[in-house]
Amino acid sequence: MAAVAVLNNLVLYKSKSTKTRSGCSRLVSNSIKCSVATGEETRRVTVKNGNDSLDICRVLNGMWQTSGGWGRIDRDDAVEAMLRYADAGLSTFDMADHYGPAEDLYGIFVNRVRRERPPEYLDKIRGLTKWVPPPVKMTSSFVRESINVSRKRMDVSSLDMLQFHWYWS
């Protein structure tokens, strides 16, 4: 799944990989269009899909680099950088359950914001995460437990947004 935002349009792509006769994979995509309304503050947009909406920063801070493929991550330095980004208005963070300590870093960051910033500051902070479960039977208890893992790692009562990635065969 990939998300592409271009000013006032947002298209979410749900992709599935299928095998061709030659054994190669090909992607089949279904797109879901969402409307995006800009706020008075040009750095933020409200993403709407039906009755659901989410106010986010136009520029997302991707946390894939914390997955560990580029060396050891210093948690204190990472959280300090997240605070600097948020202070500059870049307050939406994109992570995943499999991006190493990304969700844990977000939890540490959110707790620093709670302790060191005014309460209304937290209203602008957004944590978007992805869930990539193994290809197993999905039961409601498995889904709930898995979501609770991310929620606890991120130290939030509910997730701002969860993108579900599924391996198709």
Structural domains of the chain sorted by starting position, each given as residue range(s) with its CATH number in brackets: 1-57 (no CATH), 59-169 (3.20.20.100)
**What's the predicted TM-score (pTM) here?**
0.75
Digit-coded pLDDT (tens) for 81-113: 999 999 999 999 999 999 999 999 999 999 999
The pLDDT of residue 43 is 83
| Cβ partners under 8 Å of residue 111, min gap 6 | 155
Q: Are strands 92-94 and 126-131 parallel, antiparallel or unpaired?
A: parallel
Task: Identify the CA nearest to 97 among candidates 1, 162, 13.
Answer: 162
Is 143 a residue whose pLDDT tops 70?
yes
